[in-house]
Amino acid sequence: MASIAHQTVVITGAGSGLGRAMVHAFSQQGWSVAVADINVDAGQKVVAEIEATGGQAFFQRCDVREEADLQQLCDRCLHEWQGIGVLINNAGVVSSMGSTELTLLSEWQRLLDINLLGVVRGCAAFTPTFKAQQGGHIVNIASIAGISSLPKFANYNASKAAVISLSETLRIELGQKNIGVTVVCPSLFKTNLADSMVNPREGQHEKVSQAMERSSISADDIAQKVVKAVNKNQFYLLPHKHTWLVWWLKRLSPRLYELVMARWPVA
């Protein structure tokens, strides 16, 4: 595909978890990687891992809450490379568990600023470059929570549902310009995402971490699927097979879907 001919990929939140796994997955395919993260030590460590295996990568500190950081990231990539192939908006946090009426507005604001507006800022910063070079690909990391709303995670669900809607819009807007879009909607998988919980209440970190450990899919597994999805210009990527069943159940039998979600193990 002309849209990914540059074989260069930019990944936010690349210092750990799924972001780090995607850095390695793309590097193993010969891609050059821009490792972007707010955690300098973690990001530089990932770059060192790639360089130790003969790959090419550089680190750029990036806080996705800052528009200037995303623009500086884009400018750095254009300086380092002749073009940009793929942008992966991966940086995100998970909310603490709690009923909607008891969730503080400050928690909503912080989570939406990172999970949703961080993606918006990334797309806004890089899309002009993709249009100018007449090709590119955007990958937005959402969650199955944006499709199948987990109880007691209203703000997280809302942020990821908005990312899915944004991605659908971009797919239509940019498709005729040779710019692909993929939205990734994983369920729980083995990663350190629980460490990013906003103001976790007693026992919640352990509960979410245990649910993640029970997953049969790792971050590395999902990262490999992301690489394939980019190469195929696949739009929806639901890595867990059971999530397709939940998605169809929601459409075919809303009442049964509600009963299933009420028994979701994390809630």
> Residue 199's pLDDT band (boundaries 50, 70, 90)?
low
| Mean pLDDT, rounded, for 2-24 | 89
What is the per-residue pLDDT for 262?
75
Asked if the model's pLDDT at residue 6 lies above 90, the reply is no
Asked if the model's pLDDT at residue 259 lies above 90, the reply is no
Domain over 2-262 is classified CATH 3.40.50.720 = yes
Highest-scoring range by mean pLDDT, 115-129, 193-207, 239-253: 115-129
What is the per-residue pLDDT for 167?
98
What is the per-residue pLDDT for 246?
82
What is the per-residue pLDDT for 56?
97
> Residue 172's pLDDT band (boundaries 50, 70, 90)?
very high
What is the per-residue pLDDT for 240?
86
* 236 in catalytic set: no
What is the per-residue pLDDT for 125?
98
> Over pLDDT 90: what percentage of the chain?
69
Asked if the model's pLDDT at residue 18 lies above 80, the reply is yes
> Residue 5's pLDDT band (boundaries 50, 70, 90)?
low
Active-site residue, from 156, 170, 181, 200: 156
Nearest to 185 by CA among 62, 261, 92: 92
CA–CA distances in Å: residue 105 to residues 1, 97, 110: 44, 14, 9
Residue-wise pLDDT for 36-70, tens only, equals 999 999 999 999 999 999 999 999 999 999 999 99
For residue 101, count other CB atoms closer than 10 A to its CB. 6
Residue-wise pLDDT for 89-108, tens only, equals 999 998 777 888 888 899 99
What is the per-residue pLDDT for 65?
98
